[in-house]
A and B are shown apart, each in its own frame.
Chain A
Amino acid sequence: MKLTCSKSGAASVIKVTDRLDAQSGPDFEKSCDRLIQEGEKLLVIDLESLSYISSAGLRSLLVLGNRLKETGGSLRICCLGGIVKQVFAAAGFTSIFPVFDSVDAAVK
């Protein structure tokens, strides 16, 4: 898994590449947690380049979402596709996170 972070207005955009699963989930959480501790309130997770996600990856997102909620922030998801979109839908995660088609739409 590879993470690329950038700023777009008030949002921190985190592009996740490759896989978010049982092995990479903990690293993802750690990296995003650092941003929250630095005071970031709005995280946009760009999943366009994510080729695979499992329940472990979903749980990482849920943990992140809860941490942000505690600090008064929020988590948005964008650019779902393929198996990632299918898993999101099957697990009901499209109803707990705002999901956008593009980064531009997510950061507005």
Chain B
Amino acid sequence: MNTNETIELTLPNQLSYLPMAQAVVREAARSCGFDDAALSEIEVAVEEAATNVMKHAYDVEENPTFDIVCKCLAEGMQIVLREKGIPFDPKLIPHYKPERLDLESSTAGMGFHLMKSMMDDIQLINLGPEGKETRMLKLFKNAPGAAQTSGPATPTATEPQVIQEKIAYDVRLMAENEAIEVSKCAFKSHGYSFFDDHIYYPERLVELNQNGTMISAVAVTKDNVFMGHAALLYQHPEDRIPELTFVFVNVEYRGQGAFNRLNEFLMQTPKKRECAGIYAYAVANHVFTQKTLARYGINDCGILLATSPRTWKFKGIPGDATQRITVILAFRYMDKPKPITLYVSAHHREMIAKLYKNLGATPDWGAPPATPAPLPESGSEILTDINQSESCAEIFVKRYGQDVVREVRKHLRCFCLQQIACINLFLNLEDPATQTMTAEFEKLGFFFAGVLPCGRIGDTLILQYLNNVDLAYEKIAAYSDMAKELLGYIRAHDPNASL
């Protein structure tokens, strides 16, 4: 191999392929210029790294692959193992102590210790939803390096069985050292399909909980075995309402009522920030989450079409995966809704009133003026968020100005040119201008999606725009009567539906 040349191999995650992996890496290293002694050292390191992946990264019933990349460098060779297996925190790897070894000692960590002994540098890199990399460097000299990690926890050989008898357990706030268990549990139940990738970075979970942006609740057995997790997450600094999200329980502990207790705990636990209500998104390619939210009084108030890619997968839950994923937006007030006057366009008034009634609120409706007031000459204040991986964007009209339609159209065009599939527009229902401006935005191609009380910019009307998305309404699963009615309403107003 010449310097900077790369060999890449993709292998099934089965031990029987280990000799092939070692043979390829050995020959790559030989052609890179290593002598026999170094080749043997590299071979040991590759076996340790590859068996680590094969035994611990995936459950046995999965049939994944992993990649090995060998790159010849001027100073040696880099070997990278890349996989999309279960999240892993290298800090928790036991420290193997060869100097204190006896027959009774645990050998946890020995594999990684040997990797460090045989190679000059080892790095374990967390790529979030893109998985993990084990990067090994061998230099053109004989001194082995010393990376510091050990073998991880006992591998799961079979799919865990649901525990039938009722067990005693606690629900409390997450401790720092439990963040890795949260990430692992998220992967086991959802793979890497969570839209928000914070959940796959244990260090981020700790930081978000420390600063009050996230409130993580965990369920643990009396022996401190991790059972499940749920969280409230404030998406923006100015948010008054958090999102109920990252709710999952390990398979063996389902049926213990942990979902209920986790959600009840989150509802009752004191928050550092204002919590006027709680909202949640339930995917509409199955109804399980929708049913769960309804049990906690988190009721439907919107349907956002095609917000996530069709390639997102949900472990163990059957559902349609042939089109982009639609979500049902649901909300619950934490206290009795305060009196509020909302300014809604006449043509949506009836549906919006139904949605608020579904949430247990009866706002006052601002009467449309005989002559709409002119918009301020000062420029509009518009906020935007974009999620490239989901191909979804949001536009918030925080303050109307005379240029608002042009500005929204400019943002819309920009997102469309970036091939963003869906763009959601959030309008403040507490602003009288929304009453007349709704129709102007609908002329741009936006159509009704729903409402969200106490939103980022106030009580919010949500409009949506689909950028050449192929969508079959009959594949969207709506559970509640409100959701079914709303879906029909949205379809009737979707300019694409009649095409």
Chain A residues packing against B (C-beta within 8 Å)? 21-23, 52-56, 58-59, 62, 65-66, 69, 82-83, 86-87, 90-93, 95-96
Contact = CB atoms under 8 A, between A and B. Distances in A.
Contacts of A93: 98, 101
Given A55-B107, A92-B101, A87 B114 contact: yes
A92 B44 contact: no
A56 B41 CA distance: 15
Contacts of A96: 101-103, 105
B5 interface: no
B15 A86 contact: no
Nearest to A69: B103
Interface of A is mostly: helix
Interface residues of B, number: 30
B101 A55 contact: no
A101 B97 CA distance: 25
B44 A91 contact: no
B20 to A, nearest CB: 12
A54 B15 CA distance: 14
A21 B19 CA distance: 10
B111 A83 contact: no
Of listed A66, A90, A96, residue having the most chain B CB within 10 A = A90
B114 A62 contact: no
B47 A22 contact: yes
B114 A90 contact: yes
Nearest to B116: A90
Contact of B44 (A54, A62, A66, A69): A54
Contact of B41 (A53, A62, A86): A86
Of listed B43, B99, B110, B117, residue having the most chain A CB within 10 A = B110
B40 A91 contact: no
Contacts of B51: 22, 54-56
B37 interface: yes
B18 interface: yes
Contact of A87 (B37, B44, B104): B44
B113 interface: yes
Contact of B103 (A58, A62, A86): A62
Of listed A21, A52, A58, residue having the most chain B CB within 10 A = A21
What are the 5 A-B residue pairs with the smallest beta carbon separation, nearest first?
A92-B98, A83-B40, A90-B117, A92-B101, A55-B111
